[in-house]
A and B are shown apart, each in its own frame.
Chain A
Amino acid sequence: MTYPRLILRNLWRHPLRTVLTTLSIALSIFLVCAVLTLPGALEAVFAHWSSDVRITVHHKAGLTYWLPYAFLAKMRNLPHVAAVNHYSWFGGVYDEPKNMFPNFAVDPETVAQMWPDYGIDPAALERFRKIRNAALVGEQTMAKFGWRIGQEITLKGTVFPVDLTLRIVGVIPAASGNPVVLWFNYRYLSEAMEPRFGTALAGPTGVVGMIWLRADSPAHVGEIMRTVDALFRNSEAEVAAETEKSFIQSFTSTFEGLIRVVLAVGFLVVLAVVLIAANTSAMGVRERLPEIAVLKSLGFRRRPILAVLLAESTLQGLVGGVLGSAAAWVILGALNRAGRTAGGAFLGPLGSFHMSAGVAAEGVAVALVVGVVAGAVPAWNGARLNVVDALRRLF
C-alpha cells in the first residue's frame, strides 16, 4: 500500500462518476484549447495569406471608390516597384444570386510576378495570359461548384451590367490561402463594357477598383507606401497604401469583438466545469467522512489527508486536461489538414485552426488549476474534520 495507490483506488471508487467528471473536464479543456487557438489561427491566416512585399493601394475614401486607370502607369515607374496589378470587383453570380463569391478582373500579364507565392501552374498562367476570356479559379470554388478546367461558365454581373462567359484555364491552389477567388482578364471586362460606356475601362479615362504593388524587397515597402501616398495627395483620387497583411486585417477587425466574446464564453465554460468538479469532489468527500474519521483516529494528520484528497481532484484534472488537450491536438490538426484540401471548403475558418504545443500546455495547466480549485475546499473540510464529533455523529 502506497499513497499513490490509495489515491488511485479512491478515484476508482465510483468508476462512472470519475469517468464522467474527467470527461467533462476533458471536454471543457478541448473547448479552451480551441478558443485559445482562435487568435493564433487568425494571426497565422494573416501571415499565411499575406506577403511581406505586396502593397495594396485603394481610394482613401474607401474601397467602393474607383481609382483612375492612369495611376497604374505612374506607379509602374516608382523606384523599387517590381510589379503592378489591379483588382476590380465584378460581383458576378453563378446561376443564382446565392452563388455570390469573390471574382475580380485583373491584369493577366503580371499575375505571375505579383503572386508567385500562390503556386499557380505556369502553364495555366500562360493560358490565362493568352486566352481573352480565361479565368483562374480558387480550388475550393472549383470543388464547390463542381467545375473543371476547360469548362465555360457564365457569371451574371451585379456591379457591371453585363454577363461574362469565362473559360476556366487553371486553378489557384488552396495552399495559396486564397482558395475561393476567381480572376479573369480586365481587358475582357473592358471590351464588354465599352459599348455601354462608350470608352474602354482599360484606357486613359478608365478606372480600376484597387491597385496591387510588389516591392523588390521587404525593406522598401515602407518607402513605397509613403511615396504612393505623397504622389497622389491632393489629386482627383487620394489614395491609401497599406501592406497586404494590414489590408486583410481591416476586413477581419470586426471579428475581434467576436473573439473576445468567444474567449469569455470559453472561460465561463471552465468556471462551470470547476463548479461541477467541485460539487463532485465535495460529494465524494462527504460520502467518505467516516473513512476520513477513521484515518484520523489511526493517526493520520491533517496534511497527508489534505494531500490525498487534493491529489485525487488534481489527478482527475490532469487526466482530463491531457485527454482534452490531446483530443484538441488531434481533432484541430485533422481539421487543419482537411481545410488545406479542396474538399475542406465546408469547414470554413475551422480549417484554419492550428494548435500549438504552447496552447496544449496551457490547456493542461488550466485543467490542473481546475482540479486544485475544485478539490481545495472539500479537501480542507475533510482534513480538519473533528474526529470525535465525526465518530459520534457517524457511528
Chain B
Amino acid sequence: MIDVRDVSRVYRRGVDQVHALEHVTLHIPAGRFVALMGPSGSGKSTLLNLLAGLDRPDTGEVVVAGQALAGLDEDGLAAWRARHVGLVFQFYNLLPVLTAVENVELPLLLTGLGRSERRRRAEIALAAVGLAERADHRPQQLSGGEQQRVAIARAIVTDPDLLVADEPTGDLDARSAVEILTLLRELNRAFEKTVVMVTHDPRAERFVDQVMRLDKGVLVDGGSA
C-alpha cells in the first residue's frame, strides 16, 4: 500500500537547515493501522505530510496505492488526495459556518455526485461515527470529541484508501481520546482502511497494529509493518 524509499526532507529556517527526515525507508501493507511515534521534532508530521501528498521529499520516492507521488503536479496531487486520502487533524478544523453534515459533505463537492447523493453519503458517514442526531449542529455546538468524530466522518466520506491522522487525540480528554482511537480502529477493521496516525499518546499503542518510531528524522523502529 505505502512504500517510502530512502526519503529525505530538509527545511530551511533562515540560514539554518533542518533535517526533518533522513533516508527513511518503510513499507505499510494495505489495511494496517500504524502509529508514528517519537519526540517532538522527530519528523513524524513531515513523514505524514509526505504520505498524504501534502508535501514532497527532497530525495527518495513515495508510492501510495501504486501511485508514485513525484509524478503528480500540484493540481494532480490535490485531485489524488481528494480520491485516495482522508485527513484528520489535531484541532478538527471544521468550517464553523457549516453544520456537521455540511462539513462532512464538503469533500464530495470534488466528486461528480449529485446533491442528494452527496447528502445521503454524508449522513451515512456521520451515522458511522455515531453522530447522526447531531447532523444539523454547528461545530461550536459540539464537544471536542464530537468535532473530531465529524472530522473523521469527513475523512472517510469519499471512501479513501488511506486515512492519515495527525495527533487526533492531542486536544481531547482521556475518555474522548479513547473513543476516537476506538473509532479509528473500528474503521480500520470494518472497512479495511489503511490508517497512519501520528501520536504522542501512549494509549494508542493498544489500538494499532504497529508502532513506527522516529527520532531526529531517522526511523529507529518498525520500518516494515
Contact = CB atoms under 8 A, between A and B. Distances in A.
A298 B81 contact: yes
Nearest to B89: A395
Contact of B78 (A9, A12, A301): A301
A2 interface: yes
Nearest to A297: B87
A298 B97 contact: no
A6 interface: yes
Given A6-B98, A9-B98, A297 B81 contact: yes
Interface in A366-395: 387-388, 391-392, 395
A10 interface: yes
B110 A1 contact: no
Given A298-B106, A298-B107, A299-B79, 9 more contacts: A1-B105, A6-B106, A290-B93, A294-B93, A297-B81, A298-B87, A388-B49, A391-B89, A395-B93
Contacts of A13: 96-97
B78 A1 contact: no
A204 B107 CA distance: 97
Interface residues of B: mostly helix, strand, loop or mixed?
helix
B54 interface: yes
A65 interface: no
B55 interface: yes
Contacts of A294: 89, 93, 95
Contacts of A291: 93, 95
B57 to A, nearest CB: 12
Contacts, number: 75
Contacts of A10: 97
Which of A1, A294, A297, A388 has the most CB atoms of chain B within a 10 A radius of its CB?
A1
B194 to A, nearest CB: 17
Given A388-B49, A391-B54, A395-B90, A299 B97 contact: no
Interface in A137-193: none
Contacts of A296: 78
Contact of A1 (B91, B93, B109): B109
B52 interface: yes
Interface string A1-27: 111011001101100000000000000
Interface of A: 1-3, 5-6, 9-10, 12-13, 290-291, 294-302, 304, 387-388, 391-392, 395
Nearest to B84: A299
B83 A299 contact: yes
B110 A300 contact: yes
Interface in B173-211: none
Contacts of B102: 1, 5
A367 B74 CA distance: 34
Interface residues of B, number: 35
Interface string B69-93: 0000011001111110101011101
Contacts of B80: 299
Interface of B: 45, 49, 52, 54-55, 74-75, 78-83, 85, 87, 89-91, 93, 95-98, 102, 105-110, 115, 118-119, 122, 154
A387 B55 CA distance: 8
A297 B79 contact: no
Contacts of B49: 388, 391
A294 B49 CA distance: 13
Contacts of A391: 49, 54, 89
Given A1-B102, A388-B54, A388-B55, A299 B78 contact: yes
A9 B81 contact: no
Contacts of A290: 93
Contacts of B95: 9, 291, 294
A298 B82 contact: yes
A299 B89 contact: no
Contacts of B93: 290-291, 294, 395
12 contacts: A1-B119, A1-B122, A5-B102, A9-B95, A298-B81, A298-B82, A298-B106, A300-B78, A301-B75, A301-B78, A302-B75, A304-B110
Contacts of A387: 54
A303 to B, nearest CB: 8
A284 to B, nearest CB: 12
A45 to B, nearest CB: 50
Contacts of B82: 298-300
